[in-house]
Amino acid sequence: MFGIGLPELIVILVIGLLVLGPQRLPELARALGRGMAELKRATQDLKDEIDAEVRKMDEPIEAKSHGKLPAGGGTPPSPESGKAGPPSEGKPS
């Protein structure tokens, strides 16, 4: 995790046992474990929320790349007529 091997971990535990005593060391370990679990849960929630927002932002881009029409359908207005859709037949141009 932090590049700590077994010998280093044993030294840290022995020092902790000497400084805190056998009664407080398990309490500290439990509190540390709970804190790490809460931090992991919070970071996962944040990651999930960011991923959901990115997917929501990518939806319009994917729709355009697949050739889908925008919401509302129809064709965009033509510059000549100023109206939406293709020119109707029978009208003089």
Provide the pLDDT for residue 69: 52
The first and second tokens of residue 36, run together, are: 């790490």
Average pLDDT over residues 38-43: 96
Average pLDDT over residues 15-25: 87
Query: pTM above the 0.95 mark?
Result: no
Instruction: Give pLDDT tens digits for 72-85.
Output: 555 555 555 555 55
CB 75 within 8 A of CB 86: yes
CB atoms within 10 A of CB 29: 13
Provide the pLDDT for residue 47: 97
Residue 10 pLDDT > 80: yes
